[in-house]
Structure 1
Amino acid sequence: MRVISGEKKGQPLKAVPGTTTRPTTDKVKESIFNIIGPYFDGGWVLDLYGGSGNLGIEALSRGVEKAIFVDQNRKAVEIIKDNLKVCSYTDRAEVYRNDAKRALKALIKREVSFTYIFLDPPYAEQKIEAEIGIIHDFNLLASGGTIVAEHDSTIELAEHIGSFSCKRREVYGDTAISFYE
């Protein structure tokens, strides 16, 4: 696993050991950023199921100003911090150990909004539609922003969640990516 493009292009990233975290493959990650980017001029990103920090770090490398990473797994949080340090992004990132729902509620209190939100939960524990509902209800997505939801290809997410619409869906083997705006 590595940073694909931007200022840290080619930088290797550590993966979370074990089988509880399923990293986004480089092929899928490159496709995501070709669709939403490929490069950015600022903005904030939320990597809600951070894992190794792969997606948020890629966004930082491509020009996002700040990233917030959340994962409930202690080892994943350590790996995210290590990867941020190796990339010299610790000053542009915040990392929290928390579950997704509580993290979203904490972010509501901060009154922040994100240009990009990555949702890549474990396939067996997906609550993507409910989480997008919270994001919608509390205006966590900035105007013109995009939610990128990675899920099992057998799952069909709703076409509309609140005022968000699924603008695109791509399938890569057993992985699907749904883009909401």
Structure 2
Amino acid sequence: MRIIGGKYKGRRIKSLPKRSDTKLLRPTTERVKESVFSILNNYLEGVKFLDLFAGTGNVGIEAISRGAKKVVFVENDKRFCNLIEENLRKLGVERGKYEIICDDYVNALKKLAKRGEKFDFIYADPPYEKGFYTRIVNMVKNFDLLDEDGLLILEEPKNAPFLPDDEKWIVERRGYGTTLVTFINFYPEKEMI
């Protein structure tokens, strides 16, 4: 995997070798990542970014490369947490620009809420088959983790799209092959991207 824009453009990041004991990792494809970041590119300088289900850190590292002030990576597999740390060190990213929370998303979101954290962008790419979307959206909304002008970005399967409690929250939906990317804001009266 490579970084497609910003300070670290063209640099490669590592992934774990494919083995039977490695969880099924479905990294965000380069096409999806490029499309999402071309939409967000002008809004990334100085933002706080949350990368849920971070895997290799691919999406969050792209945000750092493009000017995010701080990225919080959430990943529950210790091997991937170590890999994210290794990828960030290899790139020379300053420790103050990121935090890695090695825990499941529910505990991590509770911890972030308890600290009073708010994010400009939250990117969630959970395992498609687990059906975490409703819980993610409800926790982000109820814990007030998203800045009023911010976006929750869900990567989901095109054949089974998530439907939020209020469809006005959907700012935009874009399809890329079998993937659907949904941009959500809980303040639909605000003008977004």
TM over 0.5: yes
Q: 1:169 aligns with which of 159, 170, 173?
A: 173
Letter in structure 2 aligned against 1:146: L
Give the residue type in structure 1 aligned to 2:83.
I
Q: One-letter code of the match for 1:56? A: G
1:89–1:109 distance in 2 versus 1, CA, 3 Å: same
Equivalent residue pairs, number: 180
Aligned match for 2:89, one of 85, 91, 108: 85
Structure 1 segments of 4 or more deviating over 6 A? Answer: none
Q: CA deviation at 1:31?
A: 0.2
Query: Does 2:45 correspond to 1:41?
Result: yes
Query: Counterpart amino acid of 1:131?
Result: I
| 1:120 has 2:97 as partner | no
**2:191 — aligned with what?**
none
**1:66 Cα offset (Å):** 0.3
**TM-score, normalization: structure 2?**
0.88
Give deviations 1:103-132, integer Å, cap 9, x for gaps.
Answer: 101111110100110100111223112111
Q: CA RMSD in A?
A: 1.6
Return the offset for 1:37: 2.2
Structure whose CA Rg is larger:
2
Is the partner of 2:123 in helix, strand or coil? Answer: strand
Instruction: Give the corresponding residue for 2:112.
Output: 107
Q: How does 1:1-181 map to 2 (within 5 A)?
A: 1-18=1-18, 20-38=24-42, 40-91=44-95, 92-161=97-166, 165-181=169-185
TM-score, scaled to structure 1: 0.93
List gaps (5 residues or longer) in structure 2: 186-193
Local SS of the residue matching 1:3: coil
C-alpha distance 129-90 of structure 1, shift in aligned 2 (>3 A): farther
Residues 1:65 and 1:36: Cα distance change in structure 2 (over 3 Å):
same
**1:80 Cα deviation after fit:** 0.7
Q: Give the % identical residues.
A: 35
Deviations 1:122-146 (A, max 9, x none): 1122311211111111110012011
Which digits, 9 at most, give the CA deviation of each residue in 1:57-111, with x for residues without a partner? 0001101000110111111111111111112224111112111111101111110
Structure 1 stretch displaced more, 20-29 or 36-45: 36-45
